[in-house]
Amino acid sequence: MNSISTFANIRQSIIHDPPAGRGRDIGELLSSALDDALIASTTDLDQSLSLVALGSYGRREMCIHSDIDLMILTQDRSPATTKEAVNAVFYPLWDSGLRVGHSIRTVHEAIVASRDSFETLCSLLTARLVMGDPARFTHLQEEVAQLIRKRPITESLKQEERLRRASHPWPIMSIDLKTGRSGLRTAQAIEWDRQTSGSSADAEGLRTAVDDLLAVRNSLHATNDRAIDALVLDVRSRAARWLGMSTKSMIGTAQRAIRAIEREARRQWPDLDQQKPTGIRSRFRAKPALAPKRTTVIAQAADAAEGRRLLTERELERASIESGHWNAENRGHLYRLIAHPEIGWQIFDQLVEVGWVDRSIGTWTHTVALPQMAPFHEHPTDIHLWRTVAEMQKLLEPHSEERWTTELGATLDHEQLLFLAWVHDIGKGFFEDHSAKGSRIMAALGTRLGIEGQRSARFQKLIEIHLLLANTAMRRDTTDSETIHHVADQVGDLESLQMLYLLTIADAKATGTTMWTEWKATQV
């Protein structure tokens, strides 16, 4: 048995008898095994050639079916040297059925390629010498460092992250763990930026998140016997069993890791999601005070949302030690924040992270990164709530895609509609019916925020029956008089029915791409 076959056998053994640590521990084991195999199989290789590990192999973060990225660093590119390198290094890997990203380059050629390809440049940032001439490898590292000093990579890294976010403006549960929003590639970009800029930020949280995502990625590779990175519905249960977890626990682990990486990206690049103000101000903007007064944390958050920016480090320091005190003015600021859901959810998540939401609002943070296990749900719970707000806003816009919604919305209080969208699933995450639980949470939340009387009672009722129209449309004869009377009795009054109708549409649209169809619209 040759040494490359030994590596392939070790990889198979990991699938059937994995180590206790299923993230970086597997990466370390695979990388060391491949190092040993390559060294053993190239004992007769020209000593002027160096084997350089790149990508996940270079970082020692290989997953079970990761590609092997390998560069041969040579003094010259003579045909004889190239043929020897290919025969000794690449053919045995290809013959074993391994996928290999390969190149043969001089130091000069590697630097030229790095100037032409940002991906190549990034791969060299975590290059690792497997065997060969240390002096030539050091020369390569010095040249890469000099190139980065002349052409800093921060803006390019940020632009790539913006493209990932543009593909998924709202974080999803079926994320591609490698290339999706706030996945492993994002974590690598943060590390590359810190490495090249000399940042001294604490990396422990990021390291833990990466380890968790590597473990989940390994579970996908192991149970599908191929490189699969998307955490889609039909692969989850098998992957969870390989990890020794319930499916919900595995999805929760992945979502918490993704959120941790999202937060690290915000800290590394505070202007990542900053947008130019549209010039349109929320109708919930608080009236200016007659005399100068100290602004509150929630007012700062609302102002940040209207300015399409995140909270600054100084604003977060204040939020970390203060609590909200709710009066009509501060409720108005909360409504202003909610009225900008695309940036608002990120600002609110900043406040969650520093503890302000727990101190000031109470029961809300349990929804953060909370998995939703129904197969039709695309987003974790807190993101679903914020996206429902966004979908509600679309329904209220002039010339909405849905018939009657603009006209209907004109007769209703938009402030109430957006707040209802923001809290309608707040009862999820407990071992009981989420609608009934949510109604009780709303009662306590209303007291906390100073939302009382008829308005609080209406929110409680609509949260408790927020699935009524959707369930009735799908499971009952909507032309039957008994069904009609039952719905009317449950809802109580016309305004509540109108609010419930709009919430039903917004909720479905925010749930998943298949949840609001023309047929369902007709039925509802």
Q: Among 47-51, 99-103, 273-277, name the most confident range.
A: 99-103
402 in the same domain as 505: yes
Instruction: Check residue 291 and give its pLDDT.
Output: 37
Please tell me whether residues 277 and 388 are part of one structural domain. Answer: no
Residues 82, 221 within the same domain: no
pLDDT band, residue 281 (cuts 50/70/90): very low
Contact 406, 398 (CB under 8 A): yes
**Do 138 and 7 fall into the same domain?**
yes
Which residue, 150, 180, 207, sits at the end of a domain? 150
Q: Are residues 94 and 173 in the same domain?
A: no
For residue 339, give the DSSP letter.
T
Query: What does the pLDDT look like over 212-222, one tens digit per residue?
Result: 999 999 999 99
Q: What is the pLDDT of residues 453-481, one digit of tens each?
A: 999 999 999 999 999 888 887 777 767 78
Sorted by sequence, the CB contacts under 8 Å of residue 215 that are 6+ apart come out as: 21, 22, 23, 26, 243, 253
Has residue 253 got a pLDDT over 50?
yes
**d(C-alpha 52, C-alpha 339), whole Å:** 52
Q: pLDDT value at position 82?
A: 80
What distance in Å separates the CA atoms of residue 58 and residue 103, rounded to the nearest whole number?
14
Confidence of residue 286 (pLDDT cuts 50, 70, 90): very low
Provide the CATH number for the domain around residue 93: 3.30.460.10
Range of the domain at 506: 362-523
CA distance 317 to 320: 5
The pLDDT of residue 289: 41
Model pLDDT, residue 288: 44
Answer with the one of 131, 150, 169 that is the final residue of a domain.
Answer: 150
In-domain check, residue 353: no
- Residue 349 inside a domain? The answer is no
Whether 398 has a pLDDT exceeding 90, the answer reads: no
Same domain, 101 and 132: yes
- Looking at the fold, whether 251 and 295 belong to one and the same domain comes out as no
Amino acid at 12: Q
Question: Stretch 59-74: mean pLDDT, rounded?
Answer: 95
Res. 51: pLDDT tops 90 = yes
Residues 56 and 129 in one domain: yes
Predicted pLDDT at 278: 43
Report the pLDDT value the prediction gives residue 71, as an integer from 0 to 100.
95
Q: Are residues 165 and 248 in the same domain?
A: yes
Reported confidence tier of residue 202, pLDDT bands at 50, 70, 90: low
Assigned domain for 345 exists? no
How many domains does the structure of the chain reveal?
4
DSSP 488-502: HHHH-SHHHHHHHHH
Q: Tell whether 483 is covered by a domain.
A: yes
* Whether pLDDT at 335 is above 50: yes
Closest among 425, 452, 435 to 364, alpha carbons compared = 425
**Tokens, residue 421:** 């969208």
129-187: per-residue pLDDT in tens? 999 999 999 999 999 999 999 999 999 999 999 999 999 999 999 999 999 999 999 99
Alpha-helical runs (H) found in 339-452: 341-353, 356-360, 381-396, 405-409, 414-423, 434-449
CATH (domain of 433): 1.10.3210
Contacts of residue 430, Cβ cutoff 8 Å, sequence gap at least 6: 366, 437
Residue 452: inside a domain: yes
In this prediction, residue 481 carries a pLDDT of 81
Query: For the chain, what percent of residues have pLDDT higher than 70?
Result: 93
- Domain-located, residue 357: no
- Residue at token pair 């970086």: 24
Calculate the average pLDDT of the chain.
Answer: 90
- 355 in a domain, yes or no? no
Shared domain check, 166 and 115: no
Q: How far apart, in whole angstroms, are the C-alpha atoms of residue 197 and residue 26? A: 29
Note whether 188 and 39 are same-domain residues.
no
Q: Is residue 117 part of a domain?
A: yes
How far apart, in whole angstroms, are the C-alpha atoms of residue 4 and residue 40? 9
**Given the structure tokens 């975590």, which residue do they identify?**
126
The answer to whether the beta carbons of residues 278 and 309 sit under 8 Å apart is no
Q: So what's the pLDDT on residue 3? A: 83
User: Once rounded to an integer, what is the mean pLDDT over residues 325-337?
Assistant: 95
Are residues 136 and 186 located together in one domain of the fold? no
At 241, which CATH number? 1.20.120.330
